[in-house]
């Protein structure tokens, strides 16, 4: 009974690269977020999983690629960190820092508002993060409470760069021109669609966030969108009586509808209310940014695709999958060579999977192949380059019955004729 339960648990323990996937912690239209563990370090991470077919179908490739590239540029303690990006044939995996403290929005919704010192500390961390992003030429463009997370130590983390822009996207006038963001938080110049400075537009959104943290409600609200935009364009808001004098002086300087007179971040850093208890962040940027894994995740090269696998036992293949690999329903033909220049081949074996892998390895090494093994998958690379570079062969063992296995060998790279010669002689 225990053995049966143990086998069942192995079947649901999935791995992507070095990460062991766990429970689903979030789900949207195009993506699912799952808790995962780095099997090398033991650290928890969150993996955002996107279906490549859906991403292409809805024209989201460039938006998602931009979000990933933007997050890779940012290495700041108050920004959710992107560790790496991987891609399989069907999915894109974005490995993110796992933040457990929830959304700042939920805390304010439950408590009504924050005490001034607490709100100031979060606002200082927000400005630190936003200022850093701007120094790297990155403008968030959708700053709002729902995109501010908290870690276990109560530190703020900016997330969701899906609508971000980089300085290279500015037009000849030096301004951004895409109208985007969440209506209640968006700056008036963005609504007017005449071009805007990304840094000043982000700062307006930070001012809205500060107001909400202290008041417990938005400064600009109306069920009618036109009326809402009119209030925003005229900065029609009033600070509640419980705001301190310092907050009452600062917020109107941030929520100034004229971007040319609006306070800038360097000026904000000198404001007496902001400076109280201020601690500038101390951190090191650990490594140079490379976008190679982004290109690999979105590309179609089998050589760069990450392995998705079931840990602890060979992946199972049911009858429908088995039949679908054959041209007809006669399974006898499935195991016969009917193509002159095959890029893959399969055969059955009743040997244990460990023995199958071992025998293939013994046969391949004398032929000059370098072997890389992981569970019941193997990648073989011929160290001697052929007519089309080094021949790479991917091997996997599938279980189709308790004592019956299908062994699949595919040419992943190199010359098809060389692959054909290898399997014919094998």
CA distances from 213 to 108, 251, 365 (A): 7, 12, 65
Residue with tokens 């999958």: 321
Report how far residue 399's alpha carbon sits from residue 316's, in angstroms, rounded to the nearest whole number: 5
Q: Is 48 annotated as a binding residue?
A: yes
Catalytic machinery residues: 142
Going from the C-alpha of 395 to that of each of 29, 190, 346, 406, 407, the distances in angstroms are 34, 54, 10, 11, 7
CA separation for the pair 346, 342 (Å, rounded): 11
The sign one gets for the Cα dihedral 397, 399, 400, 402 is positive
Residue 282: CB atoms within 10 Å: 6
| CA-derived radius of gyration, the chain | 28
Cβ 414 vs Cβ 389: under 8 Å: yes
CB distance 129 to 75 below 8 Å = no
DSSP 341-397: S-SEEEEEE-S-HHHHHHHHHHHHGGGTEEEEEETTEEEEEESS-BBTB--EEEEEE
Binding residues for ATP: 48
Binding residues: 48
């Amino acid at each position: 009974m225990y053995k049966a339960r143990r086998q069942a648990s192995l079947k649901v323990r999935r791995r992507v690269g070095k990460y062991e996937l766990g429970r689903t912690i979030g789900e949207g239209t195009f993506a699912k977020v799952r808790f995962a563990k780095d099997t090398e370090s033991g650290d928890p991470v969150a993996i955002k999983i996107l279906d490549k077919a859906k991403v292409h179908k809805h024209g989201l490739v460039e938006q998602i690629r931009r979000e990933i590239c933007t997050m890779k540029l940012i290495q700041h303690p108050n920004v959710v960190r992107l560790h790496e990006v991987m891609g399989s044939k069907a999915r894109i995996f974005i490995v993110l820092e796992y933040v457990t403290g929830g959304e700042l929005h939920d805390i304010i919704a439950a408590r009504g508002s924050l005490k001034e010192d607490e709100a100031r500390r979060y606002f200082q961390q927000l400005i630190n993060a936003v200022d850093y992003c701007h120094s790297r030429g990155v403008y968030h463009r959708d700053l709002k409470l729902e995109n501010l997370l908290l870690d276990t130590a109560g530190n703020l983390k900016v997330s969701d760069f899906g609508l971000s822009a980089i300085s290279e996207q500015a037009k000849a006038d030096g301004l951004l021109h895409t109208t985007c963001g969440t209506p209640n938080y968006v700056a008036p110049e963005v609504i007017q669609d005449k071009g805007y400075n990304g840094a000043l537009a982000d700062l307006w959104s930070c001012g809205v966030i500060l107001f909400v943290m202290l008041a417990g409600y938005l400064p600009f609200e109306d069920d009618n969108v036109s009326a809402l935009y009119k209030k925003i364009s005229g900065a029609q808001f009033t600070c509640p009586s419980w705001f301190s004098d310092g907050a009452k002086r600062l917020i109107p300087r941030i929520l100034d509808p004229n971007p040319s007179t609006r306070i800038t971040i360097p000026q904000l850093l000198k404001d007496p209310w902001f400076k109280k208890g201020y601690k500038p962040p101390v951190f090191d940027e650990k490594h140079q940014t490379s976008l190679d894994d982004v290109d690999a995740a979105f590309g179609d090269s089998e050589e760069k695709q990450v392995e998705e696998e079931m840990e602890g036992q060979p992946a199972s293949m049911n009858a429908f999958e088995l039949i679908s690999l054959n041209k007809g329903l006669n399974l006898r033909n499935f195991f016969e060579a009917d193509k002159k220049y095959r890029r893959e081949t399969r055969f059955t074996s009743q040997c244990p999977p460990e023995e199958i892998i071992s025998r293939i390895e013994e046969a391949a090494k004398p032929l000059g192949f370098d072997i890389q093994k992981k569970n019941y998958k193997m990648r073989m690379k011929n160290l001697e380059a052929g007519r089309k570079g080094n021949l790479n062969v991917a091997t996997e063992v599938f279980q189709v019955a308790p004592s019956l296995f299908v062994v699949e060998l595919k040419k992943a790279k190199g010359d098809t004729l060389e692959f054909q010669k290898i399997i014919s002689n094998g």
